Amino acid sequence: MVVQPPKCVSPIQSAIVTGELKAEVADDSQHLMVSTDCKAEKSPRIVSKYGRKGIKTEQKQPKEPEESSMQRRASARIQAKQKADKELLVRRRVELLDEQDDGGNETKSRSKRSRVTENVVKEEVVEEEKRDITAPKSKLDESTKLESKAKVKGSEENVDSKNGGGNLVEKSDTLKVKQTLRLFNKHYLHLVQEEEQRCRKVEADRKVSKKGSKSKKGAPPEDIKNPSKRPDLKALSKMMENNEILYPEKRIGNIPGIKVGHQFYSRAEMVAVGFHSHWLNGIDYMGQSYRKGLEHSKYTFPLAVAIVLSGMYEDDLDNAEDVVYTGQGGHNLTGDKRQIRDQVLERGNLALKNCIEQRVLVRVVRGHESASSYTGKVYTYDGLYKVVNYWAEKGISGFTVYKFRLRRLEGQPTLTTNQVYFTNERVPQSAAEIRGLVCEDITAGQEDIPIPATNLFDDPPVAPTGFTYCKTIQVSKNVKLPAEGTGCNCKGVCVDPRSCACALRNGSDFPYVSRDGGRLIEAKDVVFECGPNCGCGPGCVNRTSQRGLRYRLEVFRTAKKGWGVRSWDFIPSGAPVCEYTGILTRADDLDRLDYANDNNYIFEIDCLQTMKGVGGRERRSQDASLADIDLLDKSDDQNSESAPEFCIDAGSTGNVSRFINHSCEPNLFVQCVLSSHHDLKLARVMLFAADNIPPLQELTYDYGYALDSVCGPDGKIKQMHCFCGAAGCKKRLF
């Protein structure tokens, strides 16, 4: 659990950080178990255990006694970097202050700049798309061919890389899918917010009209009806408009980056990546228009590429490996969901029939009812199926239906019960069901929801010890919290972004939507929440991160990474997971003490770094929050050293977040939040869900080391292995 300043983009800054504060960290693997359990580590019994686990010993190898003290002295390289960094920072500061000075003008130039950045990104995407389209598409008439194709694709997969800020960043297909889904979620949440505002307005209007003219019974409800405007579909439209659909062309066979077992949380997600190009149709097929394409000249169209089994057709039969799929048409779409007409061999039905003759494989997705999703439904990709044969018969309702027998292609990952019938069966329902329980509640009752710890790796299983749980941040003696900031004058809950002072700080917007108990729409430089001096109550959406734990978390022993954290509940993207708590200390004070103590739990509060950070979700480009606020001169005063002034030290005291591991492709991101005061240097550090996170997936965030940023006492670059296991893992933590 080495905690870094999250996401240091500037290598210089990270060099300073890593070179100084993190020096001792170098020997520990990314939050190895070692550090998570001080007592255990000291116990001879446990030490021998570590010895047995070869990996751990290896990781410990680089530890040399002189390291910690010596690394404190910055190497020449670091010093040079420091200098450059300072200059950069000063320049940035000047820019920011300038912007502040000429108000509107500035904002303009600012947004312009961000637009430029956007364009660059877009161009890259377009480039990728071009490549995808022009890439030779092998035709697969046989499963063997298909498999070889898959292999070829697979090897191509990691080749394409993106040059981001001088760092060569590999972009795996998995990551592309992830980013596309994040983009979708971002659009979605924006539109949910619009929708929520619209509904509120409608509600308010309704109240007014009720009060104003009770006699007018037949007052036209107008748009009061049907408040649902499908933000999911709107998000798709937006993505199409922006050319953000990952694979806009339909494809036969597997889609790069989407493995068997992949879970989609709505039909719209499948459209966003191009896995199934319609949010409503069951059968996705290539129509006549694909006839023109050279690479498809030998096929007869229409040709099915993907189907969704949602159990909606009364005549469907689903036996996992063998499926009898009812064709489309003749269905009473609303109401009783029965057949009301004969089906005809056309459209999707014809497309499936053509698959038989031409031996084209079809992707099969199953829909399941599940609490583990914001829609209450989960769609799992169950792999490629061969359409074996088809026939017409009289269905249950007495109308002609077409039936297609599909058989699952062999050699694909096993279809587990869990995938076919998606349930939370692995999630314990009570304490008695927890396997390997070593501690019923590490919070000792402090949190509303207990956090158990489990250990299935050690013998005997140890519990995490050596720290005191504290739900909220503790302030050390040398730190004085700034005076409480002024708040907004809203009553009850904040709703109007034009009048709420806190919303204005966020760029005249609320950073959260109300849906699902509050979700952050996208990562921001800093989020201004309502605080103690605000007129609103605890139910205000702009206090989303102040409500404590919302999900049932578990601290569990991992194979290679010490302790880790996962959730038993589904966590929707943008939901707050936990705050990083500990002792709020001056970085200077820590310097002296903590190296001796091998403290790997220091989180440096540095919004500037976090702001410029990568990973997590793309941050709002037109974000004006920084330019508007007076906070800059507070955080930006004369002391222009780049090192952060304050840290959160969770070494001896902290909450569940001290157990969260690093990952190169994380599912959480760090967000600085200001609520009780407006001093950036003392912002609260919150972890939010970057993706929709299924139950039991380990929670991770990017510790943010820049590669080659850590130097040893000899000035040589130090390296540490990363065990996150992500497809795009950089293999090194630094």
Partner DNA sequence: GCGGGTCAGAGGTAT
Partner DNA sequence: ACCTCTGACCCGCGC
Smaller CB separation from DNA, 347 or 561: 347
User: By C-alpha distance, which of 684, 475, 480, 676 is closest to 584?
Assistant: 475
Shortest distance in whole angstroms from residue 126 CB to DNA: 17
Query: Among residues 65, 220, 336, 639, which is the contact residue for DNA, using CB under 7 A?
Result: 336
224-283: contacts with DNA (CB under 7 A): 226-234, 236-237, 240, 250, 266-268, 277-283
Phi, psi for 452 (deg, rounded to 5): -80, 160
Q: Is 356 in the site for DNA (CB under 7 A)?
A: no
Q: What whole-number distance in Å separates Cα of residue 315 and Cα of residue 444?
A: 53
Task: Please name the residue that has the structure tokens 């966590």.
Answer: 571
- Stretch touching DNA by CB under 7 A, among 12-20, 67-75, 367-375, 401-409: 367-375
User: By C-alpha distance, which of 379, 418, 403 is closest to 322?
Assistant: 403
Q: Is 348 in the site for DNA (CB under 7 A)?
A: yes
CA-based Rg of the chain, rounded to a whole angstrom? 28
Q: What whole-number distance in Å separates Cα of residue 390 and Cα of residue 680?
A: 65
Shortest distance in whole angstroms from residue 300 CB to DNA: 11
- Stretch touching DNA by CB under 7 A, among 93-101, 375-383, 392-400, 597-605: 375-383
- C-alpha triplet 718, 719, 724: angle, nearest 5°: 155
User: By C-alpha distance, which of 82, 174, 179, 84 is closest to 125?
Assistant: 179
Length of the chain as a residue count: 734
- Stretch touching DNA by CB under 7 A, among 369-377, 599-607, 637-645, 659-667: 369-377
- How far CA 366 is from CA of 356, 379, 390, in Å, comes to 21, 5, 20
Smaller CB separation from DNA, 375 or 424: 375
Smaller CB separation from DNA, 312 or 481: 312
Shortest distance in whole angstroms from residue 547 CB to DNA: 19
Shortest distance in whole angstroms from residue 301 CB to DNA: 7
Smaller CB separation from DNA, 6 or 327: 327
Q: Show Cβ contacts of residue 536 under 8 Å, excluding neighbours closer than 6 positions.
A: 488, 490, 491, 492, 493, 494, 530, 542, 543
Q: What whole-number distance in Å separates Cα of residue 645 and Cα of residue 417?
A: 52
Shortest distance in whole angstroms from residue 285 CB to DNA: 6
Smaller CB separation from DNA, 283 or 553: 283
Phi, psi for 427 (deg, rounded to 5): -80, 120
Instruction: Output the six-digit token pair for 482.
Output: 């700034």
Task: Please name the residue that has the structure tokens 């058989």.
Answer: 407
Q: What whole-number distance in Å separates Cα of residue 444 and Cα of residue 350?
A: 62
Shortest distance in whole angstroms from residue 243 CB to DNA: 12
Question: Between β-strands 583-586 and 646-649, what pairing exists: parallel, antiparallel or unpaired?
Answer: antiparallel
- How far CA 506 is from CA of 104, 518, 539, 620, 657, in Å, comes to 16, 16, 19, 11, 26
Bond prior to 302 in cis (omega within 30° of 0): yes
Shortest distance in whole angstroms from residue 359 CB to DNA: 20
Shortest distance in whole angstroms from residue 640 CB to DNA: 47
Q: Is 532 in the site for DNA (CB under 7 A)?
A: no
Q: Is 158 in the site for DNA (CB under 7 A)?
A: no
User: By C-alpha distance, which of 139, 146, 168, 410 is closest to 254?
Assistant: 146
Query: Are the C-beta atoms of residues 406 and 322 closer than 8 Å to each other?
Result: yes
Q: Is 572 in the site for DNA (CB under 7 A)?
A: no
- The neighbour count for residue 60, using CB atoms within 10 Å, is 15
Smaller CB separation from DNA, 306 or 664: 306
Q: What whole-number distance in Å separates Cα of residue 262 and Cα of residue 521?
A: 24
Shortest distance in whole angstroms from residue 333 CB to DNA: 3
Shortest distance in whole angstroms from residue 255 CB to DNA: 16
Shortest distance in whole angstroms from residue 246 CB to DNA: 13
Q: Is 19 in the site for DNA (CB under 7 A)?
A: no
How many residues lie near DNA (CB under 7 A)? 48
Smaller CB separation from DNA, 572 or 576: 572
Give the distance between the most distant pair of CA atoms in the chain. Answer: 86
Smaller CB separation from DNA, 104 or 218: 218
Smaller CB separation from DNA, 282 or 452: 282
Q: Show Cβ contacts of residue 490 under 8 Å, excluding neighbours closer than 6 positions.
A: 496, 499, 500, 530, 534, 535, 536, 540
Q: How many helices (H) and strands (E) does the chain have?
A: 19, 28
Shortest distance in whole angstroms from residue 418 CB to DNA: 20
Q: Is 56 in the site for DNA (CB under 7 A)?
A: no
Q: Is 287 in the site for DNA (CB under 7 A)?
A: yes
Shortest distance in whole angstroms from residue 332 CB to DNA: 9
Smaller CB separation from DNA, 288 or 319: 288
Amino acid, single-letter form, for residue 248: P
- The residues pairing with 568 across neighbouring beta strands, listed in sequence order, are none
Shortest distance in whole angstroms from residue 276 CB to DNA: 10
Q: What whole-number distance in Å separates Cα of residue 27 and Cα of residue 50?
A: 14
Shortest distance in whole angstroms from residue 375 CB to DNA: 4
Smaller CB separation from DNA, 283 or 530: 283
Smaller CB separation from DNA, 56 or 182: 182
Smaller CB separation from DNA, 76 or 333: 333
295-334: contacts with DNA (CB under 7 A): 301-302, 308, 310, 312, 328-331, 333-334
- The residues pairing with 688 across neighbouring beta strands, listed in sequence order, are 576, 669
Q: What whole-number distance in Å separates Cα of residue 206 and Cα of residue 16?
A: 58
Q: What whole-number distance in Å separates Cα of residue 323 and Cα of residue 467?
A: 53
Smaller CB separation from DNA, 122 or 337: 337
Query: Among residues 166, 220, 335, 538, which is the contact residue for DNA, using CB under 7 A?
Result: 335
Smaller CB separation from DNA, 278 or 634: 278
Smaller CB separation from DNA, 490 or 495: 495
Query: Among residues 107, 143, 375, 621, which is the contact residue for DNA, using CB under 7 A?
Result: 375
Q: Is 289 in the site for DNA (CB under 7 A)?
A: yes
Bond prior to 538 in cis (omega within 30° of 0): no
Query: Are the C-beta atoms of residues 570 and 692 closer than 8 Å to each other?
Result: yes
Shortest distance in whole angstroms from residue 379 CB to DNA: 8
Query: Are the C-beta atoms of residues 206 and 224 closer than 8 Å to each other?
Result: yes
Smaller CB separation from DNA, 68 or 328: 328
Query: Among residues 367, 395, 572, 728, which is the contact residue for DNA, using CB under 7 A?
Result: 367
Query: Are the C-beta atoms of residues 464 and 563 closer than 8 Å to each other?
Result: yes
Smaller CB separation from DNA, 307 or 689: 307
Per-residue contact track with DNA, 419 to 458, x per CB under 7 A?
A: ----------------------------------------
Query: Among residues 184, 285, 563, 595, which is the contact residue for DNA, using CB under 7 A?
Result: 285
Query: Are the C-beta atoms of residues 55 and 81 closer than 8 Å to each other?
Result: no
Shortest distance in whole angstroms from residue 238 CB to DNA: 9
Shortest distance in whole angstroms from residue 204 CB to DNA: 14
Q: Is 352 in the site for DNA (CB under 7 A)?
A: no
Q: What whole-number distance in Å separates Cα of residue 620 and Cα of residue 271?
A: 24
169-228: contacts with DNA (CB under 7 A): 226-228
Q: Using CB under 7 A as the criterion, which residues of the chain lie in contact with DNA when the complex forms? A: 226-234, 236-237, 240, 250, 266-268, 277-283, 285-289, 301-302, 308, 310, 312, 328-331, 333-336, 347-348, 367, 374-377
